[in-house]
């Protein structure tokens, strides 16, 4: 399911668009609704968005300004679809300049919306190498593999929001997928990676425990010691002296 953001200063238009079209059948989830381009930019900073259905004429920042700002960012950009009551060639020219390839006139025609978003779905599927429900199912396992690798590589200060952005997924959806596939939370997986790394570092008798604490992301060594004992059933010193518990 791809995340779609609606940007329109008319609340009634947003509500109609969000509720009167079978978005989920087309593979899209309405992740949010905003009043203008500036709010859209702020939303994108904190959430995964694959596509934006945006009015052109809006206060504060219009659709053209939104497209321009996104074109200047050196990050993966959502696909922008302009929805406008104005059949204005100048708008179309500006839209093309900033990489907007879809332009729908208000009032939106059901068949046209369906055709446009079917095309966008195919484009996103190709981008993420997905083309069928079976591949989406397989992909969920691949996502979990990437989650595991991320936790191993970023056990010090990894975050769910950063990982979700890297995977182009909604953080809430990713959190649910992790729990479904592993019966653990993202925090649990990150803690697993930290504690296993700590146990590995403790095998070096010259490594000081407070240095190990810092290496795996703990500012306070006492917090590290408590977390380590909760995980392994031994303090770091006991683990170093006696080795891994037999029941672990």
Q: Which of 60, 46, 66 is nearest to 6 (CA)?
A: 66
| Residue 200 phi, psi dihedral angles, 5° rounding | -65, -45
Residue 50 sits in which domain range? 2-127
Domain boundary among 95, 127, 159: 127
- One domain, residues 123 and 143: no
- DSSP summary character for residue 195: H
* Residue found under tokens 């995964």: 48
Q: State the DSSP H helix or E strand holding residue 28, giving kind and residue range, or none if neither.
A: strand 28-34
pLDDT score recorded for residue 206: 87
- One domain, residues 136 and 105: no
Domain boundary among 127, 145, 161: 127
Q: Which of 127, 61, 72 is nearest to 97 (CA)?
A: 72
Domain boundary among 73, 93, 127: 127
**Sign of the alpha-carbon torsion through 122, 125, 131, 134:** negative
- One domain, residues 10 and 93: yes
Domain count across the chain: 2
Residues whose CB is less than 8 angstroms from the CB of residue 55 and which lie 6 or more positions away in sequence, other chains included: 7, 8, 9, 10, 13, 63, 82, 83, 84
Q: What is the pLDDT along the chain (248 residues), one digit of tens a residue?
A: 789 999 999 998 888 889 889 898 888 999 999 999 999 999 998 888 899 999 998 999 999 999 999 988 766 789 999 987 766 656 667 777 888 888 888 877 888 899 899 999 888 877 766 544 444 444 678 889 889 989 988 988 899 999 988 887 778 888 888 998 899 999 999 999 999 999 989 988 888 999 999 989 898 999 999 999 999 999 999 998 887 665 55
Confidence (pTM): 0.54
- One domain, residues 49 and 106: yes
pLDDT score recorded for residue 20: 86
The 3-state DSSP composition of the chain as helix, strand, coil percent (nearest 5) reads 55, 10, 30
Tell me, rounded to whole angstroms, the distance of Cα 201 from its chain centroid. 32
Q: What is the CATH number of the domain that holds 89?
A: 3.40.50.2300
pLDDT score recorded for residue 160: 92
- One domain, residues 146 and 214: yes
- DSSP summary character for residue 108: P
Tell me the C-alpha to C-alpha distance, in Å, between residue 113 and each of 20, 81, 92: 11, 10, 18
- DSSP summary character for residue 109: P
- One domain, residues 183 and 226: yes
- One domain, residues 52 and 122: yes
- One domain, residues 6 and 122: yes
Three-state DSSP state, 192: helix
- One domain, residues 46 and 111: yes
Q: Distance (Å, rounded) from C-alpha 118 to C-alpha 122?
A: 6
């Amino acid at each position: 399911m791809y995340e779609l953001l609606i940007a329109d200063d008319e609340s009634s238009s947003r509500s109609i668009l969000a509720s009167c079209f079978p978005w989920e059948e087309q593979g899209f989830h309405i992740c949010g609704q905003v009043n203008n381009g500036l709010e859209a930019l702020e939303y994108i900073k904190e959430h995964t968005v694959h596509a934006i259905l945006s009015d052109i004429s809006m206060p504060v920042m219009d659709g053209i300004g939104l497209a321009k700002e996104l074109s200047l960012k050196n990050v993966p950009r959502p696909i922008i679809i302009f929805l406008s009551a104005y059949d204005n060639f100048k708008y179309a020219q500006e839209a093309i300049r900033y990489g907007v390839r879809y332009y729908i006139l208000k009032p939106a025609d059901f068949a046209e919306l369906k055709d446009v978003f079917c095309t966008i779905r195919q484009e996103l599927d190709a981008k993420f190498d997905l083309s069928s429900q079976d591949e989406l199912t397989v992909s969920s396992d691949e996502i979990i593999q990437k989650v595991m690798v991320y936790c191993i590589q970023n056990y010090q200060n990894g975050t769910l929001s950063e990982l979700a952005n890297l995977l182009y997924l909604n953080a809430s959806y990713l959190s649910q997928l992790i729990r479904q596939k592993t019966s653990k939370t993202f925090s649990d997986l990150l803690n697993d990676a930290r504690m296993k790394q700590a146990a590995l570092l403790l095998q070096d008798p010259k490594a000081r425990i407070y240095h190990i604490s810092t290496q795996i992301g703990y500012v306070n060594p006492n917090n590290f010691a408590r977390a380590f004992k909760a995980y392994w059933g031994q303090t770091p010193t006991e683990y170093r002296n006696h080795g891994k518990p037999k029941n672990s």
